[in-house]
Amino acid sequence: MSFDFKRQGTIASNQYAVWIEDDKGKLIKTLYVTRYTAKGGYLYRKECLPTWVEKAKPSSLPSTVIDAITSATPSSGTQRYLWDGRDEGGNYVEPGRYRFYIEATLYWTNRVLYSGAFLYGGENQENIPITVKYFDGQSNKDMIQNVKAKYISSKRRL
């Protein structure tokens, strides 16, 4: 997955998370989440990545896991995230249908959720169709733009 990130100059913004779910909606792996949110910012700002918070339950994650999936909010530019087919425990998942998500808090309660489905273990998918949903308005909607995703098959273990 890749997207253009434009850091915003407003408060209550610049938070995002990237994760993978199975076809039943179970979180398989968080690829990235901004440090402020993961380290408790969601407790002070309930509107901070509520979908990811509900799925990941960061209050129950060990600090080593939080440290592995977080960093400071990145600088503006193209961001890229790669999933290696493993779950949070480091185990390869079974072939099947999966979905990626990118959730961003744009400005206070304004947020966006991008998603796309792909077949892990299937053929290459050069352009995964992406859906986008805005919540409570589109302030700072240029924070995340040009979302693209593709799946490159790895026959190594399948």
pLDDT at 154: 76
Mean pLDDT of 31-43: 96
Strands laid side by side in the 27-34 sheet = 70-71, 27-34, 15-22, 96-107, 110-120, 131-135
What is the spatial distance between Cα 110 and Cα 13, in angstroms, rounded to a whole number? 9
pLDDT at 158: 42
Mean pLDDT of 17-32: 98
C-beta separation of 87 from 29 below 8 A: yes
What is the spatial distance between Cα 84 and Cα 75, in angstroms, rounded to a whole number? 24
Q: What is the tens place of the pLDDT at every residue in 56-112?
A: 999 999 999 999 999 999 999 999 999 999 999 999 999 999 999 999 999 999 999
C-beta separation of 114 from 102 below 8 A: yes
Mean pLDDT of 113-134: 96
pTM recorded for the entire structure: 0.95
